[in-house]
Chains A and B, each alone.
Chain A
Amino acid sequence: MKHVKSITVENLTKIFGNFTAVDNISFDVEQGEIFGFLGANGAGKTTAMKMLCGLLMPTSGTARIAGFDIYKESEKIKRNIGYMSQRFSLYEDLSIIENIDFYAGIYGLEKKEIRNRTNEMLEKLNMKSIKNEMLSSLPLGWKQKLAFSTAIIHKPEIVFLDEPTGGVDPITRRGFWELIYEYAYSGMTIFVTTHYMDEAEYCNRISMMTEGRIAALGTPAKLKSDYNAIDMNEVFIKIAEVKRK
């Protein structure tokens, strides 16, 4: 497979009033890569991601998502990305199948196509027998898996996950990451923000953000050896300490 850049970001900046939330960041993400966006709360992860999804207009800088310009081709970008946030996007008062139908419907999928993909997805999630249950009756871990699956029902090139595993137990988190791996394997680019450092190990490459800048970027192995750390937790703490000095 040739190297195709799914995301290219150059000097992207977002200023709110006199607060610089994202300060001149640049990076590339390759197709099929799991790219982790790490940092403390308020480091600018979510702001950066929102600009890439077209939810926020950048103050300056450029970015191309799936080959499309974020300023001029936002409509095309929307059709090629999926998005899931920690503040969970499915509707509690709709059943599983109604949620899926809704999200498939707003991406303009054909009826037959929706049926096929829904079946395939419910099979995979083992939820076929409970597809008419209200979402509110499901445990959080299941909801998150379902939210992820609906976020990619239109088979986007890139999926953005904003702290997707917030508030879930480690075992469910592991199951969630297995699901992510499966899709990355099939060529989908995964852009994920998290503040769980153990999850960082699952990523192909990581960028550590502090105060709106990218402080470190590389594979988990490279970051660990660069900072002479045994795990990502230590890397994170060391970067934070460097910043403080």
Chain B
Amino acid sequence: MKKFRVFVWKEFIHIWRDKRTLTILLSMPAILIILFGFAITNEINDAPIGIYDKSKDELTSKITSNIINSGYFKLEEIIKSDDEIIDVFKKGRIKMIIIYESDFESNLTKFNTANIQIISDATDPNVANTLVNYAKSLVNNFIMIEYNISPNFKIDVKMRYNTEMKGSFLFVPGLITILMMLIGAMMTALSLTREHEFGSMEYLLTSPLNSYMIIFAKLIPYLLIALFDIIVILILGTVVFGVIIQGSLLLLMFECLLFIIMSLSLGLLISTVSKSQQVALMISLMGLMLPTILLSDFIFPVSNMPQWLQFITNFIPARWFNTIIKSVMLKGAGIGNIINETLYICGFIVLFLGLSIFNFKERLD
């Protein structure tokens, strides 16, 4: 046990001496959460739009001000002729143009119908869709109130678990998944490969330390760093972005710990197949980070993927963890709700550890 302590201490010195990496590891959660929180957002705020009012009556100006005052849109351009429309879009700033037909108000009173055209820049289809929907519902609501029309049915929409449709509810759990993968798998893979690359592993194996001790001593510091990062994300997520942890914090931490252990074992496995740190880095980045980001249900919904790709996501541990963490954090799920996913993670741990031990022995032979 004393030998083990000596070894863990050495690992801490290594990490401590490599100030640059340490800084990156510890500041990553804060940086990422700020990036995702403020820059990379799908929420609509102050989208620049243009208005082409051919009618210029009281009603159209009321509708326009109603749209602008909603906070979602910002009036950037008043368009005066049809020719201008194309030019405005080509300049690229304007996301959407609202066009009222001439005699809008009088048409509405006379014929009980009037036309509004919405043209939107669909180079980013998601944004275009959202903008159009917002604008449509703003206009409809306004007309309903103004003319006191009520349709003979009512759809009651409830956005559960994220009533305000906040992006932070999605990216806070997502970031935990990605960071755990990064620190757990990539850093341990690098740190173990380093010992092989510099030849110190041979020396360690001729010493009375057994190989399990060496491996566990290498994993412990990264386990602690990963836990630290999770706590930072959770604190920033709740304090700055108002994500409320619905489920039990204990269960959440337990599941995180399980996922860290999974990614540590994955890192171990990578180290057993890489000859140099560069190879380990490439495998971790290309083979792990990309699938984790793309196929984990974090950014792109798995349910929208073609069948064969959905099948592949089953082998991405992050996909299971993403479900777990979202259920526990946002929906207040108990262990009973996520037992399947948890078992998957456990399965991955057993698989990766088993393969690593097998490879580790092979490599020495």
Report A's interface with B, CB cutoff 8 A.
50, 53-57, 75, 78-79, 81-94, 98, 101-103, 105-108, 151, 160
Contact = CB atoms under 8 A, between A and B. Distances in A.
B10 A54 contact: no
A140 B3 CA distance: 28
Most B CB contacts (10 A, CB to CB) among A83, A89, A92, A107 go to A89
Interface in B1-42: 2-3, 5-7, 9-10, 13-14, 17-18
Most B CB contacts (10 A, CB to CB) among A81, A105, A151 go to A105
Nearest to B197: A87
Contact of A78 (B6, B7, B199, B206): B206
Interface of B: 2-3, 5-7, 9-10, 13-14, 17-18, 198-200, 202-209, 364-365
A108 B208 contact: yes
B203 A108 contact: no
Given A87-B199, A105-B6, A105-B7, 7 more contacts: A57-B365, A75-B208, A78-B207, A90-B200, A98-B13, A101-B6, A102-B9
A155 to B, nearest CB: 14
Nearest to B205: A55
B86 to A, nearest CB: 61
A83 B204 CA distance: 9
Contacts of A87: 198-199, 202
Contacts, number: 79
The 4 closest A-B pairs by CB, nearest first: A87-B199, A105-B6, A89-B203, A83-B206
A56 B365 contact: yes
Contacts of B199: 85-89
Given A84-B203, A88-B199, A89-B202, A102 B208 contact: no
Contacts of A93: 13-14, 17-18
Given A88-B198, A91-B14, A93-B18, A55 B206 contact: yes
Contact of B202 (A55, A91, A107): A55
Contact of A106 (B14, B204, B364, B365): B204
A83 to B, nearest CB: 4
Contacts of A83: 202-203, 206
Contacts of A90: 200
Contacts of A81: 206
A93 B364 CA distance: 26
